Structure 1
């Protein structure tokens, strides 16, 4: 990554957490171009998009957007929105699960209350036989997020997994432990700004650890989601699995709504498990800016089509 691109990405990531910028962006709604990456502002809009993806043999992980709440009432409202999301998925008979962020449930405000919200959601999902993924946020919340998942499992709530980010130096150790505990994982490269002391700063290092994580999980037989749009990583994974005789039912590819749609459809048609991460809701701004930061070409696409 050249210096200009790095500075551009850092600036966007700073803006992702800027509430003044978020408030300004909200006035324009999805007209800024976020509609490419966000499935709508309402649950109804999102459910319609999920059904269309299912029609193409693509499963869904639905995310009611929101993070870093400042009041307990916000967390409670998000928890209720997830209950409605789970009911909507069940009522429509969709092939879908949900993802949620711990800070959205108030982790930074009241960890015990946040855990209670998450536990209620996971229990309700279990009633509908749906899966919950606890998203991984930036590094200050890594240990707490893993602790939440482990505690849920000890309570018998095993229909829940989490995410490991390949750019964090600790992730291989976390992967080994979670694999022994048979926790379902989504593997990603990572989209937050982290210090070089805890995160690999170079793409080649991130890619190498990503492959090591994938290899370890595929060899283990514990179900794994490989979340990437990197065609080279996808091809490497398919070749490795074929060479080792690993069944396609042991893993799936996950990609973002509005990104690499043709690739998603092709893999699904070839018989691979594919799941699309479908975000929706009023709090779309931080998510949108992180998508722009991941790939500067997305910015030029938005400007060209605005």
Structure 2
């Protein structure tokens, strides 16, 4: 059974990276609306206004929010500019909603897949706007092949704009060194396990060893008094961190994705810990859906149920 689960995970991660498959889904009058029924569990909508309505509801319940306009690997300069303009408007709208929220994005959505200079120039513009509106930016981490470029762009701008944070993946072997370096910069570090399919010489597979590694990194960041977002849905891991009193440290927040483990996040908030909900929107949701299912293969059953009977998707009470 375990081998079958691993095969499903690998297949979904491969599907997520398949540009032809994504294009087919997006262009199909039959597949697109069908899979969108499953994606709606995890994606707030295809328009910014839909995401902002849900964000406002969470803010009214004293959650922090992080908003993402989904997109990556954009190779056309004009499309990179469109993505930047959408993010600028998102920053402005989020700032009007509430002070000190976060906007997240992939650098490959705003130019990194063209060249690093374009990504840096667009990031500067976003950082200036975000600083004006009291908004933090969070740079997402992508495949390991992009990690060095992403970190170099971040290092280039981080001292000038302390409102910019960066995401690190615990499963990559390189993260041990990256954390030591990046604690010298002021931005928040968002620590995830890592969703991308990587070779064994680059990353650790999901295992007890990876959980121990995750705990080790969290402890390092807490001891360094560095701002950290603990971004995992692993209940056993979360309970262990609660037992160790990590969530009571002033530099720590908990972050979870919209639609994933809402009851657990609600309980953590009731326990008095700072909690953030990650809300995504846009039409580029195919990869996002594949990763949500791959993280927990049991979500495949939810996806099938949502497709067959979408009316049972409930608005979870966070």
**Pairwise same-fold verdict (TM > 0.5):** yes
2:252 aligns with 251
Of 167, 171, 175 in structure 1, the residue corresponding to residue 175 of structure 2 is 171
Pairing 1:89–2:94 present: yes
Runs of 4+ in 1 over 4 A off after TM superposition: none
Alpha-carbon deviations, 1:228-275, whole Å to 9, x = none?
111222122222236xxx844320111000011111122112210111
Matches within 5 A, 1:233-244: 233-241=237-245
1:270 aligns with 2:296: no
CA distance in 1, matches of 2:23, 2:212: 39
CA RMSD of aligned residues (A): 1.7
Please show how residues 58-97 of structure 1 align to structure 2 within 5 Å: 58-93=63-98, 96-97=101-102
Distance 1:240 1:168 in 2: 24
Aligned to 2:52: 47
Instruction: Name the structure 2 match of 1:197.
Output: 201
Q: Is the Cα contact below 8 Å between 1:249 and 1:273 reproduced in 2?
A: no
| 2:161 paired with 1:157 | yes
Q: Does structure 1 retain, via aligned residues, the 8 Å contact 2:99–2:133?
A: no
Cα offsets for 1:210-239 (capped at 9, x unmatched):
010001011111111100111222122222
Q: Secondary structure at the match of 2:43?
A: coil
- For residues 138 and 125 of structure 2, the distance between their equivalents in structure 1, rounded to whole angstroms, comes to 14
What is the Cα deviation at residue 208 of structure 1?
A: 1.1
For 1:180, what is the secondary structure of its paired residue? Answer: coil
Aligned to 1:216: 220
Q: Secondary structure at the match of 1:33?
A: helix
TM-score by length of 1: 0.94
Deviations 1:12-60 (A, max 9, x none): 1111122332233334246331000001010110000101111222111
Distance 1:10 1:190 in 2: 14
TM-superposed CA distance for 1:94, in Å, is 6.0
Aligned to 1:298: 299
- Which residue number corresponds to residue 137 of structure 1? 142
* Count of aligned pairs: 302
Larger CA deviation: 274-283 vs 21-30: 21-30
How far apart are residue 107 of structure 1 and its match?
Answer: 0.5
Deviation string, structure 1 residues 136-178 (Cα, Å, up to 9, x no partner): 0010111111111111124x11110101111011112211121
Give the superposition deviation at 1:202: 4.3
2:33 is the counterpart of 1:33:
no
Name the CA distance, whole Å, in 2 between partners of 1:297 and 1:202.
Answer: 16
> TM-score under structure 2 normalisation?
0.90
- Unpaired stretches in structure 2, ≥5 consecutive residues: 308-318
Question: d(CA) in 1 for partners of 2:173 and 2:38?
Answer: 34
Partner of 1:18: 18
Report if the CA contact (8 A) 2:258-2:277 is conserved. yes
Q: How many angstroms apart in 2 are the aligned matches of 1:111 and 1:172?
A: 24
Q: Give the secondary-structure state (helix, strand or coil) at the position aligned to 2:40.
A: helix
